[in-house]
Amino acid sequence: MNRSLRPLLATTLIFLLAYLLAVTQQPAMLSTRVLGNFLTDNAFLGIAAVGMTFVILSGGIDLSVGAVIGFTTVLIAVLIMWLDLHPLLAFAIALGVATGFGAVMGAAIHYLRVPSFIVTLAGMFLARGGASVLSPDSIGIDHAFYKVIQKSYVLLPGGGRLTVVGMIMLAVFAVAILLAHRTRFGSNVYALGGSETSAALMGVPVARTTIGIYALSGFLAGLSGVVFSLYTSAGYSLNALGVELDAIAAVVIGGTLLTGGYGFVAGTFIGVMLQGLVQTYIVFDGTLSSWWTKIVVGALLFMFILLQRLVFRAGPRRT
């Protein structure tokens, strides 16, 4: 068997086992309704996690994701409710701002030669602060377009609902898989994560790729903000607090190597679903308190990191 596929396979297997275990405890969980809700409830996390996958594949990290989601929801709410723009125009503006924000962070990381950790930390402060300067209070969005979107869904066999939000996430994953594995940009991201020096010597445009990666992460965080806005019909500066951590956890659980250069976008999808499964199970059970989610996600994170170390024991070590 292809050795490099092992972590992805392990993740898939663990997800299936966990789902099976959950179903034996709570038979009601085996339905397309639950699956449909999985997709809807985790759509914003999934979209943000795709951006994080590219960043981690390139050997970096993006801590600004949650803050950019929060900022986007506030910006959209302000544009729609205060300036009376059409939601689609507001979405376009918000996506543009988020992409530009990511591109600037990428440029700072490349040209100032500072760790992505600290640049995106500044980005996180700036986006959260900017959001609360725009509006410290939550702004409800009341618009006909939102109601139409929220009410449209595709009925799955078994009564499950595939909502627009869920479809956006699936589409993002599909495009991202093609982008990562079938385009030059994707190959450049992997090369950069393997070794920046070697990538530069091979002729990979390091500056353009780095800026592109963080712009992509910013764009997807913005899109995640759009989805969050559709999901909650509100803009609030403290929305999506700590989502960057959930996204990083999803990426790691999905089998992407933290040192960069190795991983699959599809794995991230399973990572997101596994986190959703833990949450749904705890809701179904009813007797477990919500803090168990944090502990279980932490334990999963640890388990997968351990797994990666075992699989890559013989591989290259970090310096």
Partner 1 sequence: MTRQTVDLRPNGQPPVPRPRPVAQVLMRPQVIALAAVLGVNWLLFPGFFSITWQDGRLFGSLIDVLNRGAPVAILAIGMTMVIATKGVDLSVGAVMAISGAVAATLVSAGVSAPVAVLAALAAGLLCGLWNGVLVTVLEIQPIIATLVLMVAGRGVAQLITEGTIVTFSDPVLIFIGTGAFLGLPMPVVIALVLMVAATLIVRRTALGLLIEAVGVNRSAARFAGLSAGAFLVAVYAFAGVCAAIAGLIVAGDIRGADANNAGLWLELDAILAVVIGGTSLLGGRFSIPMAVLGAIIIQAMNTGILISGFSPEFNLVVKAAVIVAILILQSPHAALLVRRLRGLQSGAGK
Which residue, 151 or 317, has its beta carbon nearer to partner 1? 317
Helix/strand/coil (H/E/C) assignment for every residue in the chain? CCHHHHHHHHHHHHHHHHHHHHHHHCHHHCCHHHHHHHHHHCHHHHHHHHHHHHHHHCCCCCCCHHHHHHHHHHHHHHHHHHCCCCHHHHHHHHHHHHHHHHHHHHHHHHHCCCCHHHHHHHHHHHHHHHHHHHCCCCEECCCHHHHHHHHCEEECCCCCEEEHHHHHHHHHHHHHHHHHHHCHHHHHHHHHHHCHHHHHHCCCCHHHHHHHHHHHHHHHHHHHHHHHHHHHCEECCCCCCCHHHHHHHHHHHCCCCCCCCCCCHHHHHHHHHHHHHHHHHHHHHCCCCCHHHHHHHHHHHHHHHHHHHHHCCCCCCCC
Which residue, 86 or 309, has its beta carbon nearer to partner 1? 309
Letters for 52-71 (x = contact with partner 1 by CB under 8 A, - = none) are ---------x----------
Which residue, 109 or 168, has its beta carbon nearer to partner 1? 109
Which residue, 47 or 247, has its beta carbon nearer to partner 1? 247
| Residue 233 Rama label (left phi>0; alpha psi -120 to 50; beta) | left
Which residue, 82 or 302, has its beta carbon nearer to partner 1? 302
Which residue, 184 or 309, has its beta carbon nearer to partner 1? 309
Which residue, 90 or 124, has its beta carbon nearer to partner 1? 124
Smallest distance, partner 1 to C-beta of residue 305, A: 6
Q: Is 309 in the site for partner 1 (CB under 8 A)?
A: yes
Q: Is 136 in the site for partner 1 (CB under 8 A)?
A: yes
Which tokens hold the place of 181?
């594995």
Q: Is 293 in the site for partner 1 (CB under 8 A)?
A: yes
Which residue, 2 or 290, has its beta carbon nearer to partner 1? 290
Give the total of residues touching partner 1 (CB under 8 A): 46
Q: Is 151 in the site for partner 1 (CB under 8 A)?
A: no
Q: Is 95 in the site for partner 1 (CB under 8 A)?
A: no
Q: Is 248 in the site for partner 1 (CB under 8 A)?
A: yes
Q: Is 16 in the site for partner 1 (CB under 8 A)?
A: no
Smallest distance, partner 1 to C-beta of residue 232, A: 20
| Chosen residue from 123, 193, 261, 263 binding partner 1 by CB under 8 A | 123
| Chosen residue from 140, 158, 298, 316 binding partner 1 by CB under 8 A | 298
Q: Is 302 in the site for partner 1 (CB under 8 A)?
A: yes
Q: Which residue has the tokens 């078994």?
A: 158
Smallest distance, partner 1 to C-beta of residue 307, A: 11
∠ CA 287-273-267, nearest 5°, is: 145
**Residues of this chain that bind partner 1 (CB under 8 A):** 61, 108, 111-115, 117-119, 121-126, 128-130, 132-133, 136, 237, 245, 248-249, 252, 258-259, 289, 291-295, 297-299, 301-302, 305-306, 309, 317-319
